[in-house]
């Protein structure tokens, strides 16, 4: 469904009127117009800085340069020495930040590792405060740090929490320009895996991801090349006939995967159409069928990727909830995911290095009245991926979840007008996301671009104020 208000505010009259009335003016987001490029940041100006005792300068400079970014440093910046040293060692050219107001960097990236006190946060302020107003529209701010190394380290834990509060607040300030702020915590040993995560957050592939924290750790190494990350991979997507699932199937195919789309037998016609558009294969099978795991194993063979997208809502206040609606939602949204994965894990249904992506919801984080069944399943998914992460790490793979916010689909088009408008506007970007936004995050988790990311849930919600 198109967002008519957004379109209206893009016109001269709409802009003037919405300004006069103090209404939101949602920015037009710049989304990726195709597959991942080998150098998605080519010719993009990225201004970088570090805290005095930062540890990630080398990984940051190497990842950005390999992604094609044009790197700038501020001549008066206190953290300039580690950057120059890292760049010198890597043979990367750093340019001085041009003086004057006309320089509008497309990204600001700051290595905040080593900050362990309130005073230490001042270096982050000093770097970003004079520059944030000059960030280009649809720009990116990315803060890198370490997760606390010990539960007993009060300084590290305080600083980590402070950085998350800082990034989430700044993201709410600059969202009206279509810009986002995110925080990446790099575990020790995860430096070589930073490259793919950095490409995701700094490119148009993450247009609707704002105010989030993601951890990158050691584990399966980053890919040698970044184009066509799913070439030769076999991926199954449940609920693929329409909506978000169809977009996921299409985006995985865009990156080279051979896709099998699965949906209920009643949807066979729609599924066939979607699959023929993307050169994929259809499997008419209900996820809640007791033999779904066996049939997937026998009809598809071992998988590289499975995306558990199929999901339903059957909203009722708990006092009015009949047991069959409780059972149905619990079984489709959660029970079937556990059963299918168990079966595939038992019967060699996953290839080595396989990746599993589950679709959760911000409804599972905040809870919604009338959604005790749905909220339980979507929160259950978050616990499930966390619990299963070590088992997948042992196989060289990963399991993660994506939690969509308000996404423009048939489901949200059916909402009453006012509820829909509230759901759409109450986020940092003042608009609903598109199915492609979820598909991009799923594609990131389905490929080695997300090497070192395991057991996590990424909200793709434009930093929704509901469920924040």
Query: φ and ψ at 186, to 5 degrees?
Result: -100, 115
**Angstrom distance (rounded) from CA 185 to CA 179:** 20
Specify the residue, 238 or 251, whose C-beta has the smaller distance to ligand NAP.
238
Buried b (16+ CB within 10 A) or exposed e, 129-161: eebbeebbebbbbbbbbbbbeeeeeeebbbbbe
The neighbouring-strand residues paired with 49 are 110
* 374 is an active site residue: yes
Query: φ and ψ at 129, to 5 degrees?
Result: -55, -45
- Check: CB of residue 336 under 8 Å from CB of residue 284: no
CB of 402 to ligand NAP, least distance (A): 8
Specify the residue, 16 or 266, whose C-beta has the smaller distance to ligand NAP.
266
Specify the residue, 250 or 409, whose C-beta has the smaller distance to ligand NAP.
409
Closest residue by beta carbon to ligand NAP: 311
CB of 465 to ligand NAP, least distance (A): 15
**Angstrom distance (rounded) from CA 275 to CA 273:** 5
Specify the residue, 285 or 321, whose C-beta has the smaller distance to ligand NAP.
285
Query: φ and ψ at 50, to 5 degrees?
Result: -140, 155
Specify the residue, 167 or 333, whose C-beta has the smaller distance to ligand NAP.
333
**Angstrom distance (rounded) from CA 358 to CA 112:** 31
Report the run of H or E that residue 424 belongs to, with start and end: helix 417-425
CB of 38 to ligand NAP, least distance (A): 31
CB of 432 to ligand NAP, least distance (A): 7
* Residue 227 to residues 84, 367, 423, Cα–Cα distance (Å): 29, 38, 35
CB of 312 to ligand NAP, least distance (A): 5
Specify the residue, 198 or 236, whose C-beta has the smaller distance to ligand NAP.
236
In 3D space, the residue among 389, 383, 361 whose CA is nearest the CA of residue 373 turns out to be: 361
CB of 423 to ligand NAP, least distance (A): 8
- Judged by the rule CB under 6 A, the positions of this chain that interact with ligand NAP are 238-239, 241-245, 263-264, 266-267, 286-288, 309-312, 332, 359, 361, 404, 406-407, 409-412
Ranges assigned E (strand) in 165-275: 180-186, 213-216, 234-238, 258-263
Which is catalytic among the residues 110, 374, 392, 445? 374
In 3D space, the residue among 384, 378, 376 whose CA is nearest the CA of residue 321 turns out to be: 376
The residues assigned a catalytic role are: 374
């Amino acid at each position: 469904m198109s967002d008519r208000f957004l379109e209206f505010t893009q016109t001269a009259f709409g802009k003037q009127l919405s300004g006069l009335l103090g209404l939101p003016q949602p920015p037009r987001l710049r989304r990726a117009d195709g597959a991942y490029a080998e150098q998605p940041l080519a010719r993009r100006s990225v201004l970088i800085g570090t805290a005095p005792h930062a540890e990630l300068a080398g990984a940051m400079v190497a990842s950005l340069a390999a992604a094609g970014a044009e790197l700038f440093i501020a001549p008066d910046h206190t953290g300039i020495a580690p950057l120059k040293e890292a760049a010198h060692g890597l043979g990367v050219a750093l340019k001085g930040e041009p003086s004057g107001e006309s320089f509008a960097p497309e990204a600001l990236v700051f290595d905040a590792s080593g900050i362990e006190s309130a005073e230490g946060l001042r270096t982050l302020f000093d770097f970003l405060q004079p520059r944030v107003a000059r960030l280009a529209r649809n720009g990116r701010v990315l803060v890198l740090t370490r997760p606390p190394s010990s539960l007993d380290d009060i300084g590290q834990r305080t600083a980590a929490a402070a950085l998350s509060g800082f990034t989430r607040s700044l993201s709410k300030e600059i969202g009206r320009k279509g810009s986002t702020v995110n925080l990446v915590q790099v575990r020790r040993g995860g430096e070589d895996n930073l490259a793919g995560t950095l490409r995701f957050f700094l490119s148009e592939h993450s247009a609707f991801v704002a105010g989030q924290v993601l951890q990158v750790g050691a584990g399966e190494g980053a890919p040698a090349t970044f184009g066509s990350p799913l070439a030769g991979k076999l991926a199954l997507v449940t609920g693929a006939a329409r909506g978000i699932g169809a977009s996921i199937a299409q985006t995985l195919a865009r990156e080279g995967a051979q896709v099998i789309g699965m949906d209920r037998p009643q949807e066979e016609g729609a599924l066939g159409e979607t699959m023929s558009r993307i050169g994929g294969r259809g499997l008419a099978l209900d996820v809640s069928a007791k033999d779904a795991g066996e049939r997937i194993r026998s009809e598809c063979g071992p998988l590289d990727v499975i995306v558990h997208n199929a999901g339903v809502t059957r909203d009722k206040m708990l006092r009015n909830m009949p047991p069959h609606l409780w059972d149905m939602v619990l079984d489709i949204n959660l029970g079937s995911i556990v059963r299918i994965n168990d079966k595939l894990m038992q019967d060699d249904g996953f290839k080595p290095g396989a990746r599993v992506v589950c679709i959760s919801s911000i409804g599972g984080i905040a809870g919604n009245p009338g959604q005790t069944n749905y909220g339980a399943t979507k929160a259950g998914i978050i616990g499930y991926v966390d619990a299963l992460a070590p088992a997948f790490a042992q196989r060289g793979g990963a399991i993660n979840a994506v939690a969509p916010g308000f996404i423009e689909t048939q489901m949200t088009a059916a909402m009453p007008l006012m509820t829909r408008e509230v759901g759409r506007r109450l986020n940092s970007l003042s608009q609903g996301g598109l199915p492609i936004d979820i598909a991009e995050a799923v594609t990131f988790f389905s490929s080695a671009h997300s090497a070192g990311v395991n057991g996590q849930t990424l909200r793709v919600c434009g930093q929704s104020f509901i469920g924040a």
